[in-house]
Structure 1
Amino acid sequence: MKDSYKTIVKPTEETLYKDRGSKFYGYAFPLTTDEEVNDLIAPLRNIHPKAGHHCYAWKLGPGEDNYRANDDGEPSHSAGDPILGQINSYELSDVLVVVSRIFGGTKLGVGGLISAYRETARIALSNSKIITRTITARVEIHFEYPQMSQVMRFIDEHNFRIEHQELTTTCFMTIAVPKSRQKEVADLINTMYPISAKIPA
């Protein structure tokens, strides 16, 4: 189970790659759901009304099974797949890359298209600000007020994040921990009697 993945912070500036008269405009966008894809591509059709193709690829989540590649009328696998290949090369998720092509009068052939779409996607992603996001899960901690310093020391030592807390005579706290360590952390806290932990339903 992966605890983190890379994504981009914000949309990139437009990039331009040229090959034998054809112009390839590249864009990369942060993505939270596949329902956003059409809304992000629609303005590009207005920006480049002469573009015959708006090819794209996207990938969502930390796994390897939620992605799509679209050739938008180009020969099969000549556009979407090379774009997706660059997303994978940068090990990114939650991202959409679009390449808008204006035909320049000379056919590039399938090999030329693959190269051009791949290079345009690479340039767009090389201009993006990439961050690493940690995938977290919650652990609930129950303790009495005298154990406060022990609990806080444990949280600080492991760099866990407090998401919620109720501090009275009997205290309750929810912390965010790396997802793959959720059970391990809960079990560890449960050895610190009388402090107890549980994994929320």
Structure 2
Amino acid sequence: MELKSCTVYRGGQGEVIEKKSRFIATIEPAASEDEALRVLERLRKKYWDASHHCYAYIIGQENSLMRCSDDGEPAQTAGRPILDVLTGASLHNVIVVVTRYFGGTLLGTGGLVRAYSRAVQEGLAQSVVIEKHPGYQVILTCDYTDVGKIQYLLAQNGISTLNSVYTDTVTLQVLFPRNSFPSRKADIMEATGGRTGFSEPVPVTYADLEGEILLLDQEM
């Protein structure tokens, strides 16, 4: 079973006020630990007068690096709850910094956990989060008599055509979900009597953003 894998396409900011304390969650994509730490340093400078800058970040396709910090809050009341929200949403390559302005009233450990978690959830609600999928980018070559059959099969299976070129033959640049490629290739070859040419599949990662296909990276 394919594990869900999500990332932040466009960051956002959310805010929670609890007993006059302000919790400002800033969420940004980060492809490396250095990039995450630069975001953290920038926010520390921006909110220089805040009480705390608690954070968590997850780096790597397989979440190979995970870090979090309570930044002076009681242990396990800030950094870990922030990280738990991110892992619960299957997010990676992301940093969240929750800046707190103390309002004068102690919230207790339970109150802190709830406030930091809610702030992250508010920030995610203001961000654009995308789910990543493994795929194959393949060039199909066919003649004009077969292109209609191919396009019908692709449409029936929700497979995206990225580009089409019509010369003396038809060339289609197609994005197949990786796990369905063998069966879809077999369907097309059967429908066209084996006349369709297939290039070597190129492994890619992609996402669907409100009907727009985003090619995120090409795997080497």
Bin of the TM-score, shorter chain as denominator length: 0.7 to 0.9
- Equivalent position of 1:44 in the other structure: 43
Q: TM-score, normalised by structure 1?
A: 0.74
Q: Between the two proteins, what is the percent identity of the paired residues? A: 25
- The answer on 1:180 being equivalent to 2:171 is no
- Equivalent position of 2:159 in the other structure: 160
The 2-side partners of 1:69 and 1:113 are apart by 19
Q: CA deviation at 1:71?
A: 0.4
The runs of at least 4 consecutive aligned structure 1 residues that moved more than 6 Å come to none
Q: Structure 1: which 5+ runs fail to align?
A: none
Query: Which amino acid in the other structure matches residue 144 of structure 2?
Result: Y
Query: Which amino acid in the other structure matches residue 123 of structure 2?
Result: A
| 8 Å Cα contact 2:13/2:24 also seen in 1 | no
Query: Which amino acid in the other structure matches residue 96 of structure 1?
Result: I
The 2-side partners of 1:106 and 1:46 are apart by 25
The 2-side partners of 1:176 and 1:32 are apart by 26
Query: Which amino acid in the other structure matches residue 16 of structure 2?
Result: L
Query: Which shifted more, 162-171 or 41-50?
Result: 162-171
SS at match of 1:162: strand
Relative distance call for 1:32 and 1:140 in structure 2 (3 A) is farther
Higher strand fraction (1 or 2): 2
Aligned positions, number: 198
- Equivalent position of 1:18 in the other structure: 18
The 1-side partners of 2:18 and 2:83 are apart by 20
- Equivalent position of 1:70 in the other structure: 68
SS at match of 1:41: helix
| 8 Å Cα contact 2:27/2:95 also seen in 1 | yes
The 1-side partners of 2:157 and 2:179 are apart by 14
| 8 Å Cα contact 1:190/1:197 also seen in 2 | no
Q: TM-score, normalised by structure 2?
A: 0.69
Counting only pairs closer than 5 Å after superposition, residues 117-196 of structure 1 correspond to structure 2 as: 117-130=116-129, 132=131, 134-191=133-190, 192=192, 193-196=194-197
